[in-house]
Amino acid sequence: CYDQALELDPNNVDFMFNLSQCYLTNFPAVQRIRNWTKPRLYKEAMKLSSKAVKLNPADFELTHDYAMNLFLAENFEAKADWKEAIAAWREVRKIARNDTERMNAWMYEGRAWLGKRKFSEAQDCFQEALKLKPDSEAAKNLIEETKKNMIEKAPRTPQKTQKTVGFSGGKQ
């Protein structure tokens, strides 16, 4: 149905969005009907979602859903594009309509940085989220988790063994 609709109106963002969401939410049936692998299905869904956002970049819901869908890659046996996810959440934040939406965009951008294993950048995002919602337990918890990861992943300098100088081992 959506395929036919897109043939008639190839730049209709609502059709693109709905078909993309249909692929992602009904993937077992779509895989069977289209004879697609999970990675192929995800790629096709993301092409539609991306095109919809490019055609209507000021639409918060489209942009938000596109950014959210980037987190689904691994569920579809596809490689997560954390760089694209970070960029998408920055776009979401630019068009957010209120502090709650901006705070959530900071949180999700931080999670994308975690996916990239860039803990310092993630920490910065969670701190920005906390500025917008100081009572956010989620932001506080992610800040603490990120601090632990930063400590665990910090390069360790080898310990020098100390030589005991002047010790003969006998009576002095």
Residue in 57, 61, 71, 58 with CA at minimum distance from that of residue 17: 61
Read off the pTM: 0.83
Tell me what percent of the residues of the chain surpass a pLDDT of 70. 87
Mean of pLDDT values over 94-112: 98
Q: What is the pLDDT of residue 114?
A: 95
Q: Can you tell me the distance from the alpha carbon of 110 to that of 34, in angstroms, rounded to the nearest whole number?
A: 35
- What are the CA-CA distances from residue 60 to residues 8, 70, 131 (Å)? 25, 16, 22
For residue range 22-62, list pLDDT tens digits in order.
Answer: 999 999 999 999 999 999 999 999 999 999 999 999 999 99
CA distances from 154 to 117, 120, 151 (A): 12, 11, 5
